[in-house]
A = this chain, B = another copy of it.
Amino acid sequence: MAEIIAAVTTSHVPSIGIAMDTGITQDPYWKPLFDGYLPAKEFVKKLKPDVTIVVYNDHGLEVFLDRVPTFGIGAAAQYLSGDEGWGPRPIPPFQGDPDLSWHLIEHLVAQEFDMTMFQEMSVDHGFTVPMSVFFGGPAGEVEEWPTRVIPITVNTIQFPLPMAARCFKLGQAIRKAVDAYPKDTRVLIVGTGGMSHQLQGERSGFMQPNFDRMFLDKMVTDPMALTKIPNGVFMKEAGHEGAELIMWLVARGAMNLEVEEVYQHYHVSASLTAAGLACYRNK
């Protein structure tokens, strides 16, 4: 039987990908961030997941405002790094797992999640940067991905966003679906986005480490409290784009109510974003 073996969460920023792809991760600006990633890489390496479910938001690569899905899920055999305006990242293709994807789709729809099913899909920095962070070599470089992947998208591009509580429940539903998968498959779930940041408007550059640290604490001690935060409050406390933190709650929902935080790293800032990372396993 399949099993969710751990959850890992991280911020994502295009420039983290660019730093890895251009080999400047040991520059003074980037070194503290990338050094902080190393224990997480070790943790993930030992886990050896067969499949990694990456819960992220598309930033306008696949999704335009003509058609915005609240929740999407990939069922493709392969996912390529897409062109966000500066060309695709020079990384290997990601291999999908259509069989598990369709199993998840059937089980999520049966649990009353109104998914949009993607059979063709390229992935942006919200997906590729976390993959490099957790599965890349010391500087993020990678020759071949050691895991199959399934992308799950959450709308954070246009309000209304799904509520934090709905995201947590999506995680619970993913957990049930994985538990019901008959193959012996070890699944890692990644929640990516946040932490506090605002890119748009005169408030751009807004960050609030106190809120981020509270969020990191409650991820372990009281995740249900986080599910009660309205999206407007996320925007106030974590910035207009900081509402991406709802993706962490999908990953959290897929775990037991009691988890152990294996590792945590927090760094201000990467570009305009407070960069947080954490690794969890079930208690």
Of all chain B residues, the one with the shortest Cβ separation from A76 is B66
A58-74 contact mask (Cβ, 8 Å, vs B): 1 or 0: 00000001111111100
Of all chain B residues, the one with the shortest Cβ separation from A165 is B112
Chain B residues with Cβ below 8 Å from A26 are none
Number of copies of chain A assembled together: 2
Are A67 and B120 also in contact (CB < 8 A) when A114-B114, A115-B114 are?
yes
Find A117's partner among B67, B110, B121 (CB 8 Å cutoff): B67
Which of A127-135, A156-164, A187-195, A205-213 lies at the interface with chain B?
A156-164
Are A69 and B66 also in contact (CB < 8 A) when A115-B114, A160-B106 are?
no
**Do A119 and B162 touch across chains, with their CB atoms under 8 A apart?**
no
A98-126 contact mask (Cβ, 8 Å, vs B): 1 or 0: 00000001100110111111111100000
Chain B residues with Cβ below 8 Å from A115 are 70, 114
**Do A158 and B70 touch across chains, with their CB atoms under 8 A apart?**
no
20 of the cross-chain contacts (CB-CB < 8 Å) are A65-B119, A66-B118, A66-B119, A66-B121, A67-B116, A67-B118, A67-B119, A69-B69, A69-B114, A70-B115, A106-B159, A106-B160, A109-B161, A109-B162, A109-B163, A112-B162, A114-B114, A114-B115, A114-B162, A114-B166
**Do A117 and B68 touch across chains, with their CB atoms under 8 A apart?**
yes
Residues of chain A at interface, number, CB under 8 A:
30
Chain B residues with Cβ below 8 Å from A161 are 109
Chain B residues with Cβ below 8 Å from A121 are 66
Query: Least Cβ distance of A52 to chain B in Å?
Result: 22
Query: Least Cβ distance of A181 to chain B in Å?
Result: 15
Find A120's partner among B66, B118, B162, B169 (CB 8 Å cutoff): B66
